[in-house]
Structure 1
């Protein structure tokens, strides 16, 4: 079996050797053997694991990538695939949110009609998260005249749904920027609202393609592991 130096893997994947060690410490790759002088001895199997991490993490994030590769090391393929499947379902649900938001835009009203609880039910976002988003300025409410309850209009519902998409995304500078754009949205500037929706749709499409690439490398790794 060919033995490969860490520096060669790092250069090939454009990552640092410390990243390789970090992945090993997290248990995402099998423990390599050591030479008589204590150096790590990597094989083609390790290379496949590292390639898979680099390919999967942009579309799935490190938490999901780690969970999947730990399952694969234990040869629990079905369990690993269901984790992947669940993540892809979430991406499809985000696509449906975009379609839902576009329909709301066609019938936009300014009348505040939803309480925090009702908004939570409509969006499947916990009330505590909605209160936090309001505190941070992502959404705003008006107070009811009779009971002083927080009330939200349809535009705030739209903003919550857009924020929900960023919740499902892999953390990145792009996602930070999208959240800021959502925060600054004004319902009287529908052109900007549509631009942000378009940017989110592009982000979802990109994530879909990144996930496809990740699954491809996962399949390549599975074939190697399955031969053992």
Structure 2
């Protein structure tokens, strides 16, 4: 198998050789063999691993991309695929959330009412149940409430927070925007726009931008799948088995 230098791997992706070494140290690409003088020797297996890792980062983020690669290098294909499945599931949830908000915006524009169309009635949630559904902590939901994003009711008997269908929709929207890097103050303003029917054109434009981002992420996932499949074939040839 032909050998490659760190600069060969780095040049392909426009990154530094130090970044390549860091990825090796963190387990995102396999460990390189060394020459007698201590220089790293990379191969096409390392090049394929780096392509897979960087494409996973674009599709799923740094944390998940790294976790997928380290799972593969622990010979835990099941865990790697589970992480990828979760990413696809989250993308689907994001699409569903956008659809729900678009429906609310259309309703606000057409009817010019002061409140959005209620989300489908999926029952109420406690703070713990909603936090589990979104994959956040209860403290996060309380922070969103303090910022004016969420306005849950209270159970008369216990005084505990109760999240109804509209609250759940607002929480899903907040979760989506938070992952997009929006500040809590901005998210609160967007949610308030939905509640009061103000600024729906600006909100619609924001949702269009999010749609483009989700489309780009979906395409990135397809691209990552191609590179990951190629890397799995390299691993399979090394182990003389077909991991697929």
TM-score (norm 1): 0.78
* Mapped pair 1:58 → 2:69: no
Residue 155 (structure 1) shift: 7.5
Is residue 201 from structure 1 mapped to residue 211 from structure 2 by the alignment? yes
Structure 1: stretches of 5+ with no match in the other structure: 170-174
Aligned partners of 1:91 and 1:204 also within 8 Å: yes
3-state SS of the aligned residue for 1:41? strand
Native 8 Å contact 1:141 1:150 kept in 2: no
> What is the deviation of 1:206?
1.3
RMSD between aligned alpha carbons?
3.3
Q: Deviations over 1:175-228 (max 9, x none)?
A: 225876534333411111222222222221111111111111000101111111
Q: Which residue of 1 aligns with 2:142?
A: 131
SS in 1 for 2:61: helix
- Provide the aligned length of Structure 1 versus Structure 2: 216
Aligned to 2:222: 212
Tell me what 2:42 maps to: 42
Q: CA offsets, 1:37-84, max 9 Å, x none?
A: 111111110111111111110111122112221222243333322221
Which of 182, 185, 197 is the equivalent residue of 2:187? 182
TM-score calculated relative to the size of structure 2: 0.73
User: Which range moves more in the overlay, 76-85 or 147-156?
Assistant: 147-156
Q: Which has the higher contact order (CA 8 A, sep 6+)?
A: 1
Asked if the contact 1:72/1:80 (under 8 Å) is kept, the reply is: yes
> In 2, are the aligned partners of 1:119 and 1:152 still within 8 Å (CA)?
yes
Q: Is the 8 A contact 2:4 2:41 kept in 1?
A: yes
Contact 1:138–1:182 (8 Å) recurs in 2: no
> Structure 2 matches for 1:81-100, cutoff 5 A?
81-100=81-100
Partner of 2:77: 77
Q: Structure 2: where are the runs of 5+ without partners?
A: 119-123, 239-244
